[in-house]
A and B are shown apart, each in its own frame.
Chain A
């Protein structure tokens, strides 16, 4: 708490006000938002959360992972299987999900970092292992193989918040809590000793090593925290959707989806992943509506406009939208 208070006090007063306003508005948003808007906001929170998780590894520690859907999938399957097979609820299941994801992350990290697999080669390793696990789940009888794994839906269980059984309002506030929690955690990590070590490694690994930083250990911690957080995102996903298919949750396109937010918002920044999610998800939804209203009834037209918009954003703010916006709003 003391560390948190220190961070809060050290923050620009304008930024503090903006943050309070932002999260305050989100707290009361369900009073005004309709069901559609709520569902979009839940998606935004989810992508902001998993984007924040990926940002720890890439944005803070400089380790490129393109297979992060692996942790979403493992977290989702572990918690869902514990719930369906043993009746262990998600609040306990999340611990098992975290343990499984951290173990996987450490294996990948240890493999990669011990043998000097870096940059794009490390990224390829993460993709390869995500694909390997996807194929393994495609054949795993216990979790329904490629045919899918399904959580039962009972109307009388709708109010069981302790089992993450409920309507959109429950998932809205759980999603918001996850996003806010990840933001606070990352703010604390950024200012911690390990956070500074990560930044040093990201900027110049050789120099960091020369300074006496245990680079291997620091990188593994980044992987462990990132995979644990992403695994929690998987638990949320499993109980929100109630069904899991390896081809969907482990697919590389899901990995790309979850890294787009932090890239657009601002890599390595605290608010970038959140802003990125708040830009990209509504942009996609708005483009669906806009193409419909314009009468552009060509399948995939939205994807074309989305791609163009993405290019325009990256062209206008190559370091991410948040660093640019922060300067404009005087929040730096």
Chain B
């Protein structure tokens, strides 16, 4: 007799058809229970996969700061989100295993992952497990061309960045009334830089800009200095220097230009990071001013941007929103897209949530551009670009006029005498 006291009774029961059916139904209900619980979750759990350490740490942490600010803004807007922060360590293997773990741990949607390679590693997990992936930043065009059904990208592709970047160069020339005759394109020879070079080669001849592109110069972003490249620049004497950089090499570039007293009319990026990063301002001080980056940017006239900035400063004391605006803005919007879809779908069931994400139509948002919508491949075609000029060490929107906070300044003042 068991300790419980009741006798063990062994009976042989003949199972009827109804009993089998009832048992099967009960079993199925039991097996489906976690899915039902997941589908009826009161909040959407979002796995934030960002490279907060390793090679992309600076950008990953910048995105992370935006994510930290998001819940407060979204809560005020009536959305319910819970974020799970995961560091991909700038490693595709880790990005993949951590995506699996996050889904195991019950996240309903993934957001990430800054680098295209990491994003695609996560995309496969998302696809196989039918969990939506909302890409905050990743520019490789094939991401939405490979056939994935469970991802959307709220970010421009490399060619879109360059197309808009070149158009804004033309608008800046018109607005400042300068007349450059030549330019040189200087770019890092990393994945992003090479992709931008390809886009530049294809798009510059069709951009109808009033200057010629004298040469394209590739450089190693890990080089100790860029004195050789700047010497070549001096020899070519271009009016404009078009650059594709990241922060550390942008610093080296400007330092070598100052050292060699090379003063072009302007240094303009047709779509790259580097010149609006905090590291750039800290390292160069006044020498960081007047450079222009043409890229998607937060709309300073949007009420949601103001709310995000307030929440950002509360969540990240001692950090400037302006320097993180690009990464933080896109990361916030990725979370907004997931939260909005959850609110409309009323479920966290993967395919239904994905359908809701695909049907996104958010008019009021943070980044400059039209409503957030996705085409059949999952790409948002409505993202706009802005000319962002460094003014008093603050990235400031100078174009388009309907979003600008100041007028563009070109030619830029000489290096000497800046304060």
Choice from A36, A154, A284 contacting B100 with Cβ under 8 Å:
A36
Are B147 and A297 within 8 A (Cβ)?
no
Cβ of B66 to closest chain A Cβ, rounded Å: 15
**In the complex, A168→B128 CA distance in Å?**
9
Residues on A with beta carbons closer than 8 Å to the beta carbon of B120 = 150, 241-243
Are B140 and A247 within 8 A (Cβ)?
no
Are B96 and A299 within 8 A (Cβ)?
no
Residues A153 and B129 in contact in the complex (CB < 8 Å), given A138-B194, A245-B116: no
Residues on B with beta carbons closer than 8 Å to the beta carbon of A40 = 97
**In the complex, A300→B61 CA distance in Å?**
11
One digit per residue, 1 when the CB lies within 8 angstroms of any chain A CB and 0 when it does not, for chain B 91-115 equals: 0111011101101100000000000
Q: Is the interface of A mostly helix, strand, loop or mixed?
A: helix
One digit per residue, 1 when the CB lies within 8 angstroms of any chain B CB and 0 when it does not, for chain A 107-149 equals: 0000000000000000000000000000100110000011110
A24 close to chain B: CB less than 8 A: no
Q: Identify the closest chain A residue to B105 (Cβ).
A: A36
Q: Identify the closest chain A residue to B140 (Cβ).
A: A148
Interface centre among A138, A147, A148, A155, by most B CB within 10 Å?
A147
Residues 33 to 85 of chain A near chain B (Cβ within 8 Å):
34-36, 38-40, 43
B352 close to chain A: CB less than 8 A: no
Are A39 and B191 within 8 A (Cβ)?
no
**In the complex, A153→B97 CA distance in Å?**
19
Are B198 and A147 within 8 A (Cβ)?
yes
Choice from A34, A146, A150, A299 contacting B193 with Cβ under 8 Å:
A146
Residues 117 to 138 of chain B near chain A (Cβ within 8 Å):
117, 120-121, 124-125, 127-129
Residues 167 to 196 of chain B near chain A (Cβ within 8 Å):
189-195
Are A146 and B57 within 8 A (Cβ)?
no
Residues on A with beta carbons closer than 8 Å to the beta carbon of B117 = 148, 243, 245, 248
**In the complex, A155→B126 CA distance in Å?**
13
Are B116 and A153 within 8 A (Cβ)?
no
Choice from A43, A241, A297, A299 contacting B124 with Cβ under 8 Å:
A241
A167 close to chain B: CB less than 8 A: yes
Q: Is the interface of B mostly helix, strand, loop or mixed?
A: helix
Residues 141 to 167 of chain B near chain A (Cβ within 8 Å):
142, 145-149, 158
B87 close to chain A: CB less than 8 A: yes
Interface centre among A38, A154, A285, A299, by most B CB within 10 Å?
A299
A152 close to chain B: CB less than 8 A: yes
Are A242 and B146 within 8 A (Cβ)?
yes
**In the complex, A248→B100 CA distance in Å?**
21
Are A299 and B52 within 8 A (Cβ)?
yes
Residues on A with beta carbons closer than 8 Å to the beta carbon of B145 = 150
Are A146 and B121 within 8 A (Cβ)?
no
Residues A245 and B191 in contact in the complex (CB < 8 Å), given A36-B101, A167-B128: yes
Residues on A with beta carbons closer than 8 Å to the beta carbon of B104 = 34-36
Residues on B with beta carbons closer than 8 Å to the beta carbon of A285 = 97, 101
A303 close to chain B: CB less than 8 A: yes
Are B98 and A288 within 8 A (Cβ)?
yes
Are B60 and A247 within 8 A (Cβ)?
no
Residues on A with beta carbons closer than 8 Å to the beta carbon of B302 = none
Are B100 and A39 within 8 A (Cβ)?
yes
A190 close to chain B: CB less than 8 A: no
Q: Interface residue tally of chain B, by bracket? A: 35 or more
Cβ of B157 to closest chain A Cβ, rounded Å: 11
Are B53 and A300 within 8 A (Cβ)?
yes
A302 close to chain B: CB less than 8 A: yes
One digit per residue, 1 when the CB lies within 8 angstroms of any chain A CB and 0 when it does not, for chain B 190-234 equals: 111111001000000000000000000000000000000000000
Q: Identify the closest chain A residue to B52 (Cβ).
A: A299
Are A146 and B189 within 8 A (Cβ)?
yes
B237 close to chain A: CB less than 8 A: no
Residues A43 and B97 in contact in the complex (CB < 8 Å), given A139-B194, A243-B120, A299-B61: yes
Residues A155 and B147 in contact in the complex (CB < 8 Å), given A245-B116, A245-B191, A299-B60: yes
**In the complex, A40→B54 CA distance in Å?**
20
**In the complex, A155→B140 CA distance in Å?**
21
Residues on A with beta carbons closer than 8 Å to the beta carbon of B80 = none
Q: Identify the closest chain B residue to A146 (Cβ).
A: B194
Residues on A with beta carbons closer than 8 Å to the beta carbon of B129 = 35
One digit per residue, 1 when the CB lies within 8 angstroms of any chain B CB and 0 when it does not, for chain A 298-319 equals: 0110110000000000000000
Are A302 and B100 within 8 A (Cβ)?
no
Residues on A with beta carbons closer than 8 Å to the beta carbon of B93 = 43
Are A247 and B147 within 8 A (Cβ)?
no
One digit per residue, 1 when the CB lies within 8 angstroms of any chain B CB and 0 when it does not, for chain A 240-262 equals: 01110111100000000000000
**In the complex, A154→B149 CA distance in Å?**
10
Residues on A with beta carbons closer than 8 Å to the beta carbon of B103 = 35-36
Residues on B with beta carbons closer than 8 Å to the beta carbon of A38 = 100
**In the complex, A95→B53 CA distance in Å?**
38
Residues A150 and B142 in contact in the complex (CB < 8 Å), given A241-B120, A245-B116: yes
Residues 254 to 298 of chain A near chain B (Cβ within 8 Å):
284-285, 288-289, 297
Are B60 and A152 within 8 A (Cβ)?
no
**In the complex, A302→B98 CA distance in Å?**
14
Residues A154 and B97 in contact in the complex (CB < 8 Å), given A138-B194, A241-B124, A303-B53: no
**In the complex, A264→B341 CA distance in Å?**
47
B89 close to chain A: CB less than 8 A: yes
One digit per residue, 1 when the CB lies within 8 angstroms of any chain A CB and 0 when it does not, for chain B 20-31 equals: 000000000000
Interface centre among B60, B158, B189, by most A CB within 10 Å?
B189
Residues on A with beta carbons closer than 8 Å to the beta carbon of B121 = 241, 243
Could you tell me which B residues sit within 8 Å of A by CB distance?
52-54, 57, 60-61, 64, 85, 87, 89, 92-94, 96-98, 100-101, 103-104, 116-117, 120-121, 124-125, 127-129, 140, 142, 145-149, 158, 189-195, 198
11 A-B residue pairs with Cβ-Cβ distance under 8 Å, sorted by A, are A35-B129, A145-B198, A147-B140, A151-B146, A153-B147, A288-B94, A297-B85, A299-B64, A300-B57, A300-B87, A303-B53
A36-B100, A39-B125, A152-B147 known; 14 new pairs, CB 8 Å cut-off, are A135-B189, A146-B194, A147-B194, A148-B191, A150-B120, A150-B140, A152-B146, A153-B146, A153-B147, A155-B149, A241-B124, A288-B87, A289-B101, A299-B57
4 closest A-B pairs by beta carbon, nearest first, are A146-B194, A299-B52, A147-B195, A300-B53
